[in-house]
Amino acid sequence: MQHTVTDCAAGVHRPSILTRAAVRKLALAALLPLALAACAPDAWKANPNYDAFVNQILRNCGNKNMGEFTVSGLMDQDGPTYSVYFVDLTSRWGQNRITTADYVQGVMSVGGGRESAGLKCIVAQKAQ
């Protein structure tokens, strides 16, 4: 992208070029509100059914790995491996807003792939 910038003191017009990095930052800044709006509303307010489901996951799967992370680490808001994305997907899936296939596909990006012990354990909890 090229713009013309005026140097007011000298009255000179010179071209200003936005770098790809600057354009990328602007695009990300513009998309941030959309991403935040897409978060599951129940991820931010108390829901006894969801809370019970999360407690069941933590009790039965908390120490299981998903890649290099544990399930409890991904869900611990105060921990260094906390993942808003993982919690949001789990919330949507726990409330039947996305399918199990969509949940598995989305969570695979967190780590460990489809065969991770943590993911297998979490999916088994929903069946109970």
Mean pLDDT in each 10-residue stretch from start to end of the chain (128 residues)?
Answer: 52 62 64 54 67 93 94 95 93 92 90 87 88
Neighbour tally for 42: CB within 10 Å: 17
Rounded Cα gap, residues 72 and 122, in angstroms = 11
> What is the reported pLDDT for 49?
82
Rounded Cα gap, residues 17 and 53, in angstroms = 51
Rounded Cα gap, residues 75 and 64, in angstroms = 12
The reported pTM is: 0.62
Rounded Cα gap, residues 88 and 10, in angstroms = 53
Query: Residue ranges per domain, the chain?
Result: 2-37, 41-127
> What is the reported pLDDT for 40?
52
> What is the reported pLDDT for 18?
64
> What is the reported pLDDT for 30?
63
> What is the reported pLDDT for 112?
77
> What is the reported pLDDT for 113?
81
